[in-house]
Amino acid sequence: MLMYRGNVNSMVTQVLKVKNITRPSEDQTSLEFFSKKSDHSLFVFGSHKKRPNNLVIGHMYDYHVLDMIELGVEKFVSLEDIKNSKCPEGTKPMLIFAGDDFDVTVAYIRLKNLLIDFFRGPIVSNTHLAGLEHVLHFTSVLRKSHCRTPRTELEESRPSLGLILRRTHLASDDLYKLSMKMPKALKPKKKKKNVSHDTFGTTYRRIHMQDQDLNKLQTRKMKGLKK
């Protein structure tokens, strides 16, 4: 069983080697215990006894199982079988999901969110195709492009899996929405009108005033100016 992601500065991976009888689909007590002990939110569990080549992935919310999906490994290509050049370790991956199920079927939507949580890196708005090195592509292979966009070809450089969806343990809609709620401290502050800041942190406010008639302005009258 592999658990990672916690309240630490960098990603921590901890392999739990204690021989415990764990059946995630029947009893989540051990998963919740290890999650609270290690302060981790994601887990992967592999088994082969009852269901051959079984892989269970999931994530926790408040140290309880939120979503858990069981996958069957039908095809596996190891890193040793890849003859192409490998991308450097730590290269930011680009995630591509192909197929309508990832946008329509509830189980596949949750599976997509799980995979994003496992493999996501920094979020960027634009990507230069010439500098694209690491792609995690799910479901299908890119075909030849017939548009002006530069053609991108994929070559195997990492292990690959052929999976089938087995049992699922999904959170209720209310609990799922609660887990996705962003804390107030992390919410972006609303931009205030007519307020700006410079590089030194000084705040400037713009005030809009109506035109004033200077002829009606009350001034101090001096006796020496009287006629």
For 160-220, list the strands marked E by DSSP. 160-169, 195-197, 203-205
In tens, the pLDDT along 133-160 reads: 888 888 744 445 555 555 666 677 677 7
82 vs 68: which has the higher pLDDT: 68
pLDDT at residue 91 is higher than 70: yes
Q: What per-residue confidence (pLDDT) applies to 146?
A: 56
- Separation between Cα atoms, residue 21 and residue 115, nearest integer Å: 26
Q: What pLDDT does residue 223 have?
A: 66
- Which percentage of the chain shows pLDDT scores above 90? 0
Which pLDDT value is given to residue 9? 36
The CA-atom distances, in angstroms, between 40 and each of 58, 78, 124, 165, 185 are: 11, 27, 26, 24, 21
